[in-house]
Amino acid sequence: MAFTIAYLPLSKQSGEGVEAMQNVLISGASVAGPVLAYWLRQYGFEPTIVERTPALRHGLGGHAVDLFGSGVEVARRMGIGEAVQAARTRTELMTLFRNGKKPVEINVDKLSSGISDRHVEILRGELTSLLYDATRDRVEYLFGDSIATLNDDGQGVDVTFEHSEPRRFDLVIGADGMHSTVRRLAFGPEESMRRPLGGYLGVYSMPDELALGNRMFVHMEIGKIASTYGVHQTGQARAAFLFRRREELQYDYRDKDQQKRILADEFRDYGWEVPRLLKHLDAAEDFYFDSITQITLDSWQRGRIGLVGDAGYCPGPAVGGGTSLAVVTAYVLAGELAAARADLPSGLRNYENKIRRFVDLSRAVGPKVMGSIIPDSATALRAVPIAASVLPHLPLWVQRKLWSQNGVGKALDSLPLPDYSDLIRVPQS
Protein backbone atom coordinates (compact mmCIF):
# COMPACT_ATOMS: atom_id res chain seq x y z
CA MET A 1 0.00 0.00 0.00
CA ALA A 2 1.36 3.41 -0.97
CA PHE A 3 1.13 6.52 1.13
CA THR A 4 1.82 10.17 0.44
CA ILE A 5 3.78 12.64 2.53
CA ALA A 6 1.88 15.92 2.68
CA TYR A 7 3.59 19.02 1.34
CA LEU A 8 2.75 22.65 0.60
CA PRO A 9 1.82 23.15 -3.09
CA LEU A 10 3.92 25.73 -4.87
CA SER A 11 1.02 27.90 -5.96
CA LYS A 12 -0.05 28.37 -2.35
CA GLN A 13 3.48 29.08 -1.21
CA SER A 14 4.57 31.52 -3.88
CA GLY A 15 1.41 33.14 -5.13
CA GLU A 16 2.24 32.09 -8.71
CA GLY A 17 -0.87 29.92 -9.11
CA VAL A 18 -1.91 31.76 -12.30
CA GLU A 19 0.96 30.04 -14.11
CA ALA A 20 0.61 26.38 -15.05
CA MET A 21 3.24 24.54 -13.03
CA GLN A 22 5.11 21.80 -14.85
CA ASN A 23 5.05 18.58 -12.89
CA VAL A 24 7.94 16.14 -12.87
CA LEU A 25 7.84 12.57 -11.59
CA ILE A 26 11.12 11.34 -10.11
CA SER A 27 11.60 7.65 -9.36
CA GLY A 28 14.00 7.15 -6.44
CA ALA A 29 14.42 8.85 -3.05
CA SER A 30 18.06 8.11 -2.27
CA VAL A 31 20.49 10.82 -3.46
CA ALA A 32 19.99 12.05 -7.03
CA GLY A 33 16.20 12.10 -6.69
CA PRO A 34 15.92 14.44 -3.69
CA VAL A 35 18.70 16.73 -5.02
CA LEU A 36 16.85 17.03 -8.32
CA ALA A 37 13.52 17.59 -6.57
CA TYR A 38 14.97 20.29 -4.31
CA TRP A 39 16.27 22.35 -7.21
CA LEU A 40 13.23 21.80 -9.41
CA ARG A 41 11.13 23.13 -6.57
CA GLN A 42 13.40 26.17 -6.34
CA TYR A 43 12.86 26.80 -10.04
CA GLY A 44 9.06 26.66 -9.85
CA PHE A 45 8.34 23.06 -10.85
CA GLU A 46 6.06 20.62 -9.01
CA PRO A 47 8.21 17.53 -8.37
CA THR A 48 6.84 14.22 -7.08
CA ILE A 49 9.13 11.44 -5.84
CA VAL A 50 7.98 7.82 -5.94
CA GLU A 51 9.97 5.36 -3.83
CA ARG A 52 9.51 1.60 -3.65
CA THR A 53 10.49 1.25 0.01
CA PRO A 54 7.64 1.75 2.53
CA ALA A 55 9.48 4.53 4.35
CA LEU A 56 12.77 6.35 4.30
CA ARG A 57 15.50 4.44 6.08
CA HIS A 58 16.32 7.21 8.53
CA GLY A 59 19.64 6.84 10.27
CA LEU A 60 23.14 5.68 9.67
CA GLY A 61 22.79 2.71 7.35
CA GLY A 62 24.51 2.13 4.05
CA HIS A 63 28.17 2.16 3.23
CA ALA A 64 30.45 5.17 3.49
CA VAL A 65 30.32 7.37 0.38
CA ASP A 66 32.34 10.36 -0.77
CA LEU A 67 31.44 13.90 -1.73
CA PHE A 68 34.19 15.78 -3.52
CA GLY A 69 34.61 19.37 -4.69
CA SER A 70 31.53 20.12 -6.74
CA GLY A 71 29.35 17.75 -4.70
CA VAL A 72 30.28 19.54 -1.48
CA GLU A 73 29.46 22.85 -3.13
CA VAL A 74 26.00 21.66 -4.22
CA ALA A 75 25.29 20.65 -0.61
CA ARG A 76 26.35 24.13 0.52
CA ARG A 77 24.04 25.79 -2.01
CA MET A 78 21.19 23.63 -0.71
CA GLY A 79 21.78 24.93 2.80
CA ILE A 80 22.91 21.56 4.19
CA GLY A 81 26.66 22.06 3.87
CA GLU A 82 27.28 22.41 7.60
CA ALA A 83 25.08 19.41 8.39
CA VAL A 84 26.96 17.29 5.87
CA GLN A 85 30.30 18.33 7.37
CA ALA A 86 29.04 17.53 10.88
CA ALA A 87 27.90 14.08 9.74
CA ARG A 88 31.22 13.00 8.21
CA THR A 89 32.52 9.62 9.30
CA ARG A 90 35.68 11.06 10.89
CA THR A 91 37.81 8.01 10.17
CA GLU A 92 41.27 9.26 11.05
CA LEU A 93 43.55 6.24 10.97
CA MET A 94 43.60 3.20 8.71
CA THR A 95 45.60 0.08 9.57
CA LEU A 96 46.39 -2.28 6.69
CA PHE A 97 46.96 -5.95 7.53
CA ARG A 98 48.45 -8.67 5.32
CA ASN A 99 49.24 -12.24 6.23
CA GLY A 100 52.75 -12.53 7.62
CA LYS A 101 53.47 -8.80 7.27
CA LYS A 102 53.77 -5.96 9.74
CA PRO A 103 50.62 -3.76 9.85
CA VAL A 104 50.88 -0.40 8.08
CA GLU A 105 49.20 2.67 9.57
CA ILE A 106 47.93 5.45 7.28
CA ASN A 107 46.62 8.94 8.02
CA VAL A 108 43.28 8.99 6.18
CA ASP A 109 42.85 12.78 6.18
CA LYS A 110 46.23 13.32 4.53
CA LEU A 111 45.54 10.60 1.98
CA SER A 112 42.15 12.00 0.93
CA SER A 113 43.42 15.58 0.75
CA GLY A 114 45.69 14.45 -2.05
CA ILE A 115 42.63 13.70 -4.18
CA SER A 116 40.65 16.88 -3.46
CA ASP A 117 40.97 19.86 -1.15
CA ARG A 118 37.26 19.48 -0.33
CA HIS A 119 36.25 15.97 0.59
CA VAL A 120 33.59 14.59 2.92
CA GLU A 121 33.08 10.92 3.68
CA ILE A 122 29.57 10.28 5.00
CA LEU A 123 27.37 7.24 5.52
CA ARG A 124 24.92 6.95 2.65
CA GLY A 125 21.96 6.59 5.02
CA GLU A 126 22.81 9.82 6.80
CA LEU A 127 23.19 11.73 3.54
CA THR A 128 19.82 10.39 2.38
CA SER A 129 18.22 11.54 5.64
CA LEU A 130 19.65 15.05 5.27
CA LEU A 131 18.36 15.29 1.70
CA TYR A 132 14.93 14.05 2.74
CA ASP A 133 14.73 16.59 5.57
CA ALA A 134 15.61 19.34 3.07
CA THR A 135 12.72 18.35 0.78
CA ARG A 136 9.99 16.63 2.82
CA ASP A 137 7.89 19.78 3.37
CA ARG A 138 8.30 21.02 -0.20
CA VAL A 139 8.03 17.88 -2.32
CA GLU A 140 5.34 15.22 -2.69
CA TYR A 141 6.63 11.76 -1.72
CA LEU A 142 4.87 8.51 -2.67
CA PHE A 143 6.40 5.79 -0.49
CA GLY A 144 5.72 2.09 -0.89
CA ASP A 145 4.99 2.43 -4.59
CA SER A 146 6.68 2.05 -7.96
CA ILE A 147 6.06 2.90 -11.61
CA ALA A 148 4.31 0.12 -13.55
CA THR A 149 4.03 1.60 -17.06
CA LEU A 150 5.10 4.72 -18.96
CA ASN A 151 3.46 6.14 -22.09
CA ASP A 152 5.14 9.20 -23.62
CA ASP A 153 2.88 10.76 -26.27
CA GLY A 154 5.20 13.69 -26.98
CA GLN A 155 3.19 16.19 -24.95
CA GLY A 156 3.45 14.44 -21.60
CA VAL A 157 3.89 11.05 -19.96
CA ASP A 158 1.00 8.93 -18.72
CA VAL A 159 2.11 6.88 -15.72
CA THR A 160 0.50 3.94 -13.99
CA PHE A 161 1.71 2.84 -10.57
CA GLU A 162 1.68 -0.45 -8.73
CA HIS A 163 -0.67 1.03 -6.11
CA SER A 164 -1.52 4.72 -6.71
CA GLU A 165 -4.01 6.03 -9.25
CA PRO A 166 -2.70 6.77 -12.78
CA ARG A 167 -1.38 10.28 -13.35
CA ARG A 168 0.04 12.41 -16.14
CA PHE A 169 3.34 14.29 -15.88
CA ASP A 170 5.22 16.73 -18.07
CA LEU A 171 8.44 14.78 -17.49
CA VAL A 172 9.62 11.55 -15.85
CA ILE A 173 13.14 11.08 -14.48
CA GLY A 174 14.68 7.81 -13.34
CA ALA A 175 16.88 8.39 -10.29
CA ASP A 176 16.33 4.86 -9.08
CA GLY A 177 19.83 3.44 -9.09
CA MET A 178 21.72 0.75 -10.93
CA HIS A 179 18.65 -1.50 -11.20
CA SER A 180 16.40 1.33 -12.44
CA THR A 181 12.74 0.64 -13.18
CA VAL A 182 12.44 3.74 -15.37
CA ARG A 183 15.44 2.66 -17.43
CA ARG A 184 14.00 -0.83 -17.92
CA LEU A 185 10.60 0.52 -19.00
CA ALA A 186 11.85 3.26 -21.33
CA PHE A 187 15.31 2.15 -22.50
CA GLY A 188 15.33 -1.65 -22.39
CA PRO A 189 16.57 -4.56 -20.25
CA GLU A 190 19.42 -4.01 -17.82
CA GLU A 191 21.50 -6.85 -19.26
CA SER A 192 22.21 -4.90 -22.45
CA MET A 193 23.62 -1.91 -20.53
CA ARG A 194 25.72 -3.57 -17.83
CA ARG A 195 29.51 -3.59 -17.81
CA PRO A 196 30.64 -5.75 -14.87
CA LEU A 197 34.08 -4.87 -13.51
CA GLY A 198 34.47 -8.24 -11.81
CA GLY A 199 34.08 -7.11 -8.22
CA TYR A 200 31.48 -7.33 -5.44
CA LEU A 201 30.77 -5.25 -2.35
CA GLY A 202 29.02 -6.24 0.87
CA VAL A 203 28.41 -3.92 3.86
CA TYR A 204 26.45 -4.06 7.14
CA SER A 205 26.36 -2.74 10.71
CA MET A 206 27.60 -4.64 13.75
CA PRO A 207 28.71 -4.00 17.35
CA ASP A 208 32.12 -2.36 17.71
CA GLU A 209 33.76 -5.36 19.36
CA LEU A 210 37.25 -4.18 18.35
CA ALA A 211 36.87 -0.75 20.01
CA LEU A 212 37.65 0.94 16.70
CA GLY A 213 36.46 4.46 17.50
CA ASN A 214 37.72 6.59 14.60
CA ARG A 215 39.90 3.84 13.18
CA MET A 216 39.52 1.48 10.23
CA PHE A 217 41.05 -1.98 9.99
CA VAL A 218 41.63 -3.41 6.51
CA HIS A 219 42.93 -6.89 5.75
CA MET A 220 44.02 -7.61 2.18
CA GLU A 221 44.64 -10.79 0.23
CA ILE A 222 44.88 -11.34 -3.51
CA GLY A 223 41.38 -10.71 -4.82
CA LYS A 224 39.78 -10.07 -1.43
CA ILE A 225 39.47 -7.35 1.21
CA ALA A 226 37.82 -7.56 4.62
CA SER A 227 37.48 -4.39 6.66
CA THR A 228 35.69 -2.79 9.57
CA TYR A 229 35.46 0.79 10.79
CA GLY A 230 33.86 2.63 13.67
CA VAL A 231 30.74 4.78 13.39
CA HIS A 232 31.21 7.55 15.95
CA GLN A 233 27.56 8.67 15.89
CA THR A 234 26.25 5.32 17.17
CA GLY A 235 29.24 3.67 18.80
CA GLN A 236 28.74 0.75 16.42
CA ALA A 237 30.93 -0.48 13.59
CA ARG A 238 30.50 -1.35 9.93
CA ALA A 239 31.84 -4.46 8.24
CA ALA A 240 32.76 -4.08 4.57
CA PHE A 241 33.92 -6.77 2.17
CA LEU A 242 35.23 -6.57 -1.39
CA PHE A 243 36.14 -9.48 -3.63
CA ARG A 244 36.81 -10.36 -7.26
CA ARG A 245 35.28 -13.08 -9.41
CA ARG A 246 36.28 -14.02 -12.95
CA GLU A 247 32.82 -15.32 -13.75
CA GLU A 248 29.81 -13.17 -12.93
CA LEU A 249 27.71 -14.35 -10.00
CA GLN A 250 24.03 -14.98 -10.65
CA TYR A 251 21.72 -13.71 -7.91
CA ASP A 252 18.52 -11.76 -7.31
CA TYR A 253 19.46 -8.22 -6.32
CA ARG A 254 16.41 -8.05 -4.03
CA ASP A 255 17.06 -11.37 -2.24
CA LYS A 256 19.10 -10.34 0.81
CA ASP A 257 19.22 -13.85 2.28
CA GLN A 258 20.74 -15.21 -0.92
CA GLN A 259 23.30 -12.39 -0.97
CA LYS A 260 24.25 -13.04 2.65
CA ARG A 261 24.92 -16.68 1.80
CA ILE A 262 27.14 -15.64 -1.11
CA LEU A 263 29.19 -13.32 1.11
CA ALA A 264 29.49 -15.85 3.93
CA ASP A 265 30.62 -18.60 1.54
CA GLU A 266 33.19 -16.30 -0.07
CA PHE A 267 34.87 -15.38 3.24
CA ARG A 268 34.15 -18.48 5.34
CA ASP A 269 37.81 -19.61 5.43
CA TYR A 270 39.39 -16.16 5.26
CA GLY A 271 40.82 -15.97 8.78
CA TRP A 272 41.96 -12.73 10.50
CA GLU A 273 38.96 -11.10 12.27
CA VAL A 274 36.49 -12.24 9.63
CA PRO A 275 34.78 -14.92 11.80
CA ARG A 276 34.02 -12.15 14.32
CA LEU A 277 32.56 -10.00 11.54
CA LEU A 278 30.55 -12.77 9.90
CA LYS A 279 28.81 -13.84 13.10
CA HIS A 280 26.75 -10.62 12.86
CA LEU A 281 25.86 -11.06 9.18
CA ASP A 282 22.58 -12.96 9.53
CA ALA A 283 21.10 -10.44 11.97
CA ALA A 284 22.11 -7.36 9.95
CA GLU A 285 19.03 -5.36 8.94
CA ASP A 286 20.88 -2.78 6.84
CA PHE A 287 22.81 -5.26 4.70
CA TYR A 288 23.89 -4.05 1.25
CA PHE A 289 25.37 -6.23 -1.46
CA ASP A 290 25.86 -5.73 -5.18
CA SER A 291 28.25 -6.21 -8.04
CA ILE A 292 30.69 -3.47 -8.99
CA THR A 293 29.11 -2.80 -12.35
CA GLN A 294 28.95 0.17 -14.68
CA ILE A 295 25.87 1.23 -16.63
CA THR A 296 26.53 2.50 -20.15
CA LEU A 297 23.98 4.03 -22.55
CA ASP A 298 24.43 6.07 -25.71
CA SER A 299 21.86 8.57 -24.45
CA TRP A 300 20.07 9.26 -21.17
CA GLN A 301 16.94 10.66 -22.81
CA ARG A 302 13.93 9.22 -24.59
CA GLY A 303 11.57 12.08 -25.40
CA ARG A 304 10.14 13.25 -22.07
CA ILE A 305 11.84 10.52 -20.05
CA GLY A 306 15.37 10.90 -18.70
CA LEU A 307 17.89 9.33 -16.35
CA VAL A 308 20.19 10.77 -13.69
CA GLY A 309 22.85 9.31 -11.40
CA ASP A 310 23.43 5.57 -11.21
CA ALA A 311 20.27 4.89 -13.23
CA GLY A 312 21.91 6.43 -16.29
CA TYR A 313 25.66 6.14 -15.81
CA CYS A 314 26.62 4.21 -12.70
CA PRO A 315 30.44 4.34 -12.59
CA GLY A 316 30.57 1.34 -10.24
CA PRO A 317 29.81 1.12 -6.50
CA ALA A 318 32.88 1.88 -4.35
CA VAL A 319 35.16 2.72 -7.29
CA GLY A 320 33.82 5.66 -9.31
CA GLY A 321 32.65 8.47 -7.03
CA GLY A 322 29.03 7.70 -7.94
CA THR A 323 27.45 9.61 -5.04
CA SER A 324 29.25 12.86 -5.80
CA LEU A 325 28.47 12.32 -9.49
CA ALA A 326 24.77 11.87 -8.67
CA VAL A 327 24.61 15.07 -6.60
CA VAL A 328 26.34 17.21 -9.21
CA THR A 329 24.50 15.88 -12.25
CA ALA A 330 21.11 16.16 -10.54
CA TYR A 331 21.89 19.82 -9.83
CA VAL A 332 22.82 20.39 -13.49
CA LEU A 333 19.73 18.55 -14.75
CA ALA A 334 17.42 20.74 -12.68
CA GLY A 335 19.11 23.89 -13.91
CA GLU A 336 18.97 22.89 -17.56
CA LEU A 337 15.30 21.96 -17.28
CA ALA A 338 14.59 25.35 -15.73
CA ALA A 339 16.55 27.13 -18.45
CA ALA A 340 14.60 25.30 -21.17
CA ARG A 341 11.29 25.50 -19.32
CA ALA A 342 9.10 25.68 -22.45
CA ASP A 343 10.90 22.75 -24.10
CA LEU A 344 11.76 20.10 -21.50
CA PRO A 345 13.17 17.54 -23.99
CA SER A 346 15.61 20.24 -25.09
CA GLY A 347 16.58 20.70 -21.44
CA LEU A 348 17.33 16.97 -21.20
CA ARG A 349 19.58 17.20 -24.27
CA ASN A 350 21.42 20.23 -22.90
CA TYR A 351 21.96 18.44 -19.58
CA GLU A 352 23.39 15.44 -21.38
CA ASN A 353 25.75 17.57 -23.44
CA LYS A 354 26.92 19.49 -20.38
CA ILE A 355 27.81 16.47 -18.22
CA ARG A 356 28.93 13.92 -20.84
CA ARG A 357 32.65 14.55 -20.48
CA PHE A 358 32.42 14.57 -16.67
CA VAL A 359 30.57 11.25 -16.71
CA ASP A 360 33.06 9.69 -19.11
CA LEU A 361 35.96 10.70 -16.87
CA SER A 362 34.26 9.29 -13.79
CA ARG A 363 33.47 6.04 -15.58
CA ALA A 364 37.07 5.70 -16.76
CA VAL A 365 38.22 5.83 -13.14
CA GLY A 366 36.33 2.68 -12.13
CA PRO A 367 38.55 -0.05 -13.61
CA LYS A 368 41.69 1.76 -12.43
CA VAL A 369 40.40 2.08 -8.88
CA MET A 370 39.34 -1.57 -8.93
CA GLY A 371 42.92 -2.47 -9.75
CA SER A 372 44.30 -0.39 -6.91
CA ILE A 373 41.92 -1.32 -4.08
CA ILE A 374 41.39 -5.04 -4.77
CA PRO A 375 44.85 -6.45 -5.56
CA ASP A 376 44.79 -9.06 -8.33
CA SER A 377 48.38 -10.24 -7.96
CA ALA A 378 51.15 -10.60 -5.39
CA THR A 379 52.87 -7.56 -6.89
CA ALA A 380 49.75 -5.43 -6.51
CA LEU A 381 49.26 -6.70 -2.97
CA ARG A 382 52.75 -5.49 -2.05
CA ALA A 383 52.30 -2.16 -3.83
CA VAL A 384 49.06 -0.98 -2.19
CA PRO A 385 50.34 -0.46 1.37
CA ILE A 386 53.58 1.04 0.10
CA ALA A 387 51.78 3.61 -2.04
CA ALA A 388 49.19 4.36 0.65
CA SER A 389 51.84 4.97 3.29
CA VAL A 390 54.14 7.08 1.09
CA LEU A 391 51.56 9.33 -0.63
CA PRO A 392 50.38 11.26 2.47
CA HIS A 393 53.95 12.42 3.15
CA LEU A 394 54.49 13.94 -0.30
CA PRO A 395 53.81 17.64 -0.98
CA LEU A 396 50.17 18.25 -1.89
CA TRP A 397 50.98 19.36 -5.41
CA VAL A 398 52.86 16.12 -6.00
CA GLN A 399 49.97 14.06 -4.60
CA ARG A 400 47.46 15.85 -6.84
CA LYS A 401 49.70 15.31 -9.86
CA LEU A 402 49.98 11.59 -9.15
CA TRP A 403 46.24 11.18 -8.59
CA SER A 404 45.45 13.05 -11.79
CA GLN A 405 47.62 10.66 -13.80
CA ASN A 406 45.04 7.90 -13.44
CA GLY A 407 42.05 10.23 -13.77
CA VAL A 408 40.86 10.20 -10.15
CA GLY A 409 41.46 13.84 -9.26
CA LYS A 410 40.46 15.07 -12.70
CA ALA A 411 37.16 13.18 -12.67
CA LEU A 412 36.07 14.17 -9.17
CA ASP A 413 36.66 17.90 -9.48
CA SER A 414 36.52 18.55 -13.22
CA LEU A 415 32.99 19.94 -13.66
CA PRO A 416 32.62 23.63 -12.80
CA LEU A 417 29.15 24.18 -11.35
CA PRO A 418 26.95 26.41 -13.51
CA ASP A 419 25.14 29.25 -11.76
CA TYR A 420 21.38 28.96 -12.20
CA SER A 421 20.47 31.39 -9.41
CA ASP A 422 18.68 33.76 -11.79
CA LEU A 423 16.15 30.99 -12.48
CA ILE A 424 15.06 30.60 -8.85
CA ARG A 425 11.38 31.40 -8.28
CA VAL A 426 10.93 30.23 -4.71
CA PRO A 427 12.94 31.83 -1.86
CA GLN A 428 15.29 29.32 -0.26
CA SER A 429 14.07 28.31 3.19
Q: Give the residue ranges of DSSP H helices in 136-228.
A: 181-187
Contacts of residue 354, defined as CB under 8 A and 6 or more positions apart, other chains included, come to 332, 336, 418
Mean pLDDT by runs of 10 across the 429 residues of the chain is 55 46 96 99 98 78 83 96 92 90 84 65 92 97 98 98 98 98 98 94 95 94 95 89 94 96 97 97 95 96 98 87 94 98 97 93 84 86 72 46 50 78 80
Q: What is the pLDDT of residue 7?
A: 58
Architecture of domain 3-193+294-423: 3-Layer(bba) Sandwich (3.50)
Q: Where are the domains of the chain?
A: 3-193+294-423
SS3 243: strand
What is the pTM for the complete model shown?
Answer: 0.90
Q: What is the pLDDT of residue 14?
A: 41
Instruction: Identify the DSSP state of 421.
Output: G
Q: What is the pLDDT of residue 113?
A: 57
Q: What is the pLDDT of residue 396?
A: 41
The single-letter code of the amino acid at 251 is Y
Closest-CA residue to 301 (of 188, 187, 407): 187
Q: What is the pLDDT of residue 399?
A: 44
The contacts found for 281-284 with CB under 8 angstroms, 24 or more apart, are: 281/204, 281/239, 284/204, 284/205, 284/206, 284/260
- CB count within 10 Å of CB 21 equals 16
Contacts of residue 243, defined as CB under 8 A and 6 or more positions apart, other chains included, come to 199, 200, 223, 224, 225, 266, 267, 374
Q: Where are the beta strands (DSSP E) in 131-170?
A: 140-143, 147-152, 157-161, 167-169
